[in-house]
């Protein structure tokens, strides 16, 4: 893809999709965010605007640059608006059926046969998503980390079909265009980071579940005793307990190791809608992030 990727689409404007769209827009890329309808698209715009506004207030971004980033981002409720994209990043809910449906649709819509179709999945097989298309060689994992504008890492995950040209384009996009640090992973559940992280988080959940220690003490122990910047239950709340449970289920389905099995407490909290920061309550109580606008 001569000249590099300049036209990017993001499917899904939630926490991760909005963050991906923001870093693309801030990098000067022509960015389109697609949501399920116009109402959800407006909510995605508000989410990006709020994040840009926080960056301005914290001195990380100039006000003019924030306005420019928001102005160059289009928010739509129609998948057809992604037809001319050189790269489309899927960032919908961590559900295999939902993601497969997106890839099947993108395969029919995206006009450029050299376009890269990427998924931000935390744990689902890239091969399965690629096989939902007629261009599995152009499908790759681009796994960003939350909050996307802050954390510098991207995992590039290749399937058995992903071509060398696709890998090169994905790595160039993440490293050169976005300024991220790239690590590679094979197509295994959890990839590199979550295969290591999720058993640790689940161990903390089991410790709280058993009454061995409180959530506050578990987090303080790892923050102050091991110099972790955030305790495991605070981190689980930040990621989203539904996402943690989904990744754990994917890991357990693939490896059948007990350490990957989601504990009953985690499952009950997800069923109760206690998802962490995004719902205002998980293992800790959180204030909802305010919705701001870039003026």
The single residue of 120, 159, 194, 246 carrying the catalytic annotation is: 194
The single residue of 35, 90, 94, 155 carrying the catalytic annotation is: 155
Band of the pLDDT at 256, cuts 50, 70, 90?
A: very high
β-pair type (30-34, 7-11) = parallel
Whether residue 247 sits in one domain with residue 143: no
Active-site residue flag, 95:
no
pLDDT tens for 198-235 read 999 999 999 999 999 999 999 999 999 999 999 999 99
Q: What is the pTM of this model?
A: 0.89
Q: What is the model's pLDDT at position 3?
A: 64
Active-site residue flag, 194:
yes
The single residue of 90, 143, 185, 250 carrying the catalytic annotation is: 143
φ, ψ dihedrals at 183, nearest 5°: -125, 150
Active-site residue flag, 155:
yes
Last residue of a domain, one of 186, 213, 242: 186
**Tokens (6 digits) for 39:** 């109402």
Please compute the mean of the pLDDT values over residues 45-70 and round it to a whole number: 97
The single residue of 51, 120, 122, 123 carrying the catalytic annotation is: 122
Q: What is the model's pLDDT at position 290?
A: 39
Residues with Cβ within 8 Å of residue 268, at least 6 apart in sequence:
none
Whether residue 93 sits in one domain with residue 126: yes
Q: What is the CATH number of the domain that holds 261?
A: 1.10.1040.10
Active-site residue flag, 90:
no
Nearest to 72 by CA among 110, 107, 32, 37: 32
Residue 282 lies in a domain: no
pLDDT tens for 100-130 read 999 999 999 999 999 999 999 988 899 999 9
Which bin fits 28, alpha (ψ -120 to 50), beta or left (φ > 0)? left
Residue 285 lies in a domain: no
Domain containing residue 205: 194-271
pLDDT of 51 above 90: yes
Band of the pLDDT at 288, cuts 50, 70, 90?
A: low
Mean pLDDT over the full length of the chain: 94
SS3 132: coil
Give the Cα separation of 276 and 273 in Å (integer).
9
């Amino acid at each position: 893809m001569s000249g590099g990727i300049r036209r990017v689409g993001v499917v899904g404007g939630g926490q991760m999709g909005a963050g991906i769209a923001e870093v693309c827009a801030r990098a000067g890329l022509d960015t389109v965010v697609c949501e399920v309808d116009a109402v959800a698209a407006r909510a995605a715009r508000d989410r990006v605007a709020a994040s840009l506004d926080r960056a301005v207030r914290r001195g990380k971004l100039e006000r003019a640059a924030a306005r420019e980033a928001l102005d160059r981002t289009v928010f739509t409720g129609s998948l057809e608006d992604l037809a001319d994209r050189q790269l489309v990043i899927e960032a919908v809910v961590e559900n295999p059926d939902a993601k497969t449906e997106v890839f099947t649709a993108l395969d029919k819509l995206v006009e450029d046969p050299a376009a890269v179709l990427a998924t931000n999945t935390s744990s689902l097989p890239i091969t399965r998503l690629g096989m939902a298309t007629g261009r599995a060689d152009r499908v790759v994992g681009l796994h960003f980390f939350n909050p996307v504008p802050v954390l510098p890492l991207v995992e590039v995950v290749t399937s058995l079909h992903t071509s060398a040209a696709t890998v090169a384009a994905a790595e160039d996009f993440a490293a050169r265009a976005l300024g991220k640090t790239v690590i590679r992973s094979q197509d295994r559940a959890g990839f590199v980071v979550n295969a290591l992280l999720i058993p640790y988080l689940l161990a903390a959940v089991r410790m709280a579940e058993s009454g061995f220690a409180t959530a506050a003490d578990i987090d303080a122990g790892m923050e102050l005793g091991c110099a972790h910047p955030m305790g495991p239950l605070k981190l689980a709340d930040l990621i989203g307990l539904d996402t943690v449970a989904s990744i754990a289920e994917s890991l357990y389905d693939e490896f059948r190791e007990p350490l990957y099995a989601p504990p009953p407490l985690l499952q009950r909290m997800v069923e109760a809608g206690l998802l962490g920061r995004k719902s205002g309550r998980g293992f800790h109580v959180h204030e909802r992030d305010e919705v701001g606008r870039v003026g």
